[in-house]
A and B are shown apart, each in its own frame.
Chain A
Amino acid sequence: MTVVRVDDDRRLALCADETGARHTVETALVEPVSAGDRILVHAGTAIAALAPDQSDERTATA
């Protein structure tokens, strides 16, 4: 999903999935996030953030 807007106080983000549908997502596990970031969401919680230029070869430390 793509982050649309972040509510830092509540640690939630409004996100859009690939169809454009909006979802409220917990961001506590991948903070900090900002509008435009791509995140992997499972059951309403972001469990990983994807860097824009991330590739398979990169040893993921993010």
Chain B
Amino acid sequence: MKYVDEYRDADLGRALSGEILSLVEPGRHYKFMEVCGGHTHSIYKYGVDDLLPANVELVHGPGCPVCVIPMGRVDDGIALAHEEGVIFTCFGDMMRVPGSEGSLLEANAAGADIRMVYSPLDALRIAKQNPDREVVFFAIGFETTAPSTALTLKRARAEGVPNFSVMCSHVTIVPPLRALLESPDLRLDGFVGPGHVATVVGARPFEFIPADYGKPIVVAGFEPLDILHAITMILRQLNENRCEVENQYSRVVPYEGNQRALEVMAEVFELRPHFEWRGLGFISHSGLKLSEAYADLDAEKRFSVPGVRVADPKACQCGEVLKGVIKPWECKVFGTACTPERPIGTCMVSSEGACAAYYNYGRFAREREVV
């Protein structure tokens, strides 16, 4: 298939693997962070890490939309779902994220009307089909997903759907990256940049990484050869003493982003002063809320939302995993008390979560033998 097969070619993969081997300096340990959960998923699905020399380590970053949602936010969603007459809609992954007293899936079993949707447009359709009910969409995700929510809100306004509202938990990628780069317990040599976020925001917003922190970043696609190619590009920058933003995924990422998407986001959203991230705590200007012009479609204004802050479970080390400080299998509950069927932490819930990626593709068994 065009755009897929050519990026999964085994011979090309072996050639890139050999090229990476020729580019690394023996004795030096390289630590690169793949920012996006989609990359983490591809790396373990296709065994990309097995094609890397032992001294090239991939560290998993915070770019999994479901993984960064704190427990308190899930509790808020469940409270909203229990409101009289409400149909609560969300993406499938979000249904299984544990709150302090269970997940949305469990709330659904207990009688709340919670429905899985593939897009905010599906939620709007449910609202139109149920004019006597209030339909709330739980909007999560980075800049990749936010334009979809923004367009749906504009559509709801244009089509006059009064019973539709959004509980906005969208986040932005730059503030947590800056927080990670400021963190003293993480030493990184470079970044594999988030390809689909960059499709919307462009590669330009990542210029602060080389400019302020002296680290190279290569925006990359999600096929195995894309990731291997991005690693060769980072290594070349290091070997040539260059430090810049490069775009490996130019078949869909314009350097300046998608201007129409940026415009619609600017119209519909504004930055929250601060937003709580699972494991990372409060980060300034990292979350989005609906702008004043769309305040009437804001579920948090239409309904009473508890807004309580809940500490993560003590046993769960998602925070350290999201910061790349520990590997998933180093968590005390990985694969025992915490599994994809009964997750304790968010990283075990989503297919983009590092823990679920390790667990589902059986990578943890080998790692444990090494330990």
Q: Chain A: residues with CB nearer than 8 A to chain B?
A: 18, 23-24, 26, 28-30, 38, 40, 42-45, 47-48, 50, 54-62
Does A44 lie within 8 Å of B3, measured CB to CB?
no
Q: Chain B: residues with CB nearer than 8 A to chain A?
A: 1-4, 91, 118-122, 141, 144-145, 147-149, 151-152, 196, 199-200, 248, 250-255, 258, 260-261, 264
Does A60 lie within 8 Å of B252, measured CB to CB?
yes
> For A38, A42, A54, A62, which residue has the most chain B Cβ atoms within 10 angstroms?
A42
With A28-B151, A47-B261, A48-B258 as contacts: A60 and B2 at CB distance below 8 Å: no
B105 to chain A, nearest CB (A): 20
Does A18 lie within 8 Å of B144, measured CB to CB?
no
Which residue of the partner chain, among A28, A56, A57, A58, contacts B260 with CB atoms under 8 Å? A28
B89 to chain A, nearest CB (A): 12
- Determine the chain A residues whose CB is within 8 A of the CB of B120 once the complex forms: 43-44
Q: Chain A's interface: helix, strand, loop or mixed, by majority? A: loop
Which residue of the partner chain, among B3, B118, B141, B253, contacts A60 with CB atoms under 8 Å? B253
Q: How far does the alpha carbon of A40 sit from the alpha carbon of B261 in the complex, in Å?
A: 14
Q: Which residue of A lies closest to B251 (CB)?
A: A54
Which residue of the partner chain, among B91, B199, B255, contacts A47 with CB atoms under 8 Å? B199
With A18-B1, A42-B196 as contacts: A50 and B251 at CB distance below 8 Å: yes
A38 to chain B, nearest CB (A): 7
Q: Which residue of A lies closest to B118 (CB)?
A: A44
Does A23 lie within 8 Å of B261, measured CB to CB?
no
Q: How far does the alpha carbon of A61 sit from the alpha carbon of B147 in the complex, in Å?
A: 19
Does B119 lie within 8 Å of A45, measured CB to CB?
yes
Does B144 lie within 8 Å of A23, measured CB to CB?
no
Does A40 lie within 8 Å of B250, measured CB to CB?
no
25 A-B residue pairs with Cβ-Cβ distance under 8 Å, sorted by A, are: A26-B121, A26-B152, A28-B260, A29-B258, A29-B260, A29-B264, A38-B3, A40-B196, A43-B91, A43-B118, A43-B148, A45-B121, A45-B147, A47-B200, A47-B258, A47-B261, A48-B258, A55-B251, A56-B250, A56-B251, A57-B250, A59-B250, A59-B255, A60-B251, A61-B254
- Determine the chain B residues whose CB is within 8 A of the CB of A58 once the complex forms: 250-251
Which residue of the partner chain, among A23, A30, A40, contacts B118 with CB atoms under 8 Å? A23
Q: How far does the alpha carbon of A45 sit from the alpha carbon of B154 in the complex, in Å?
A: 13
B39 to chain A, nearest CB (A): 15
Q: How far does the alpha carbon of A26 sit from the alpha carbon of B120 in the complex, in Å?
A: 10
Does A29 lie within 8 Å of B151, measured CB to CB?
yes
A44 to chain B, nearest CB (A): 2
Q: How far does the alpha carbon of A25 sit from the alpha carbon of B318 in the complex, in Å?
A: 34
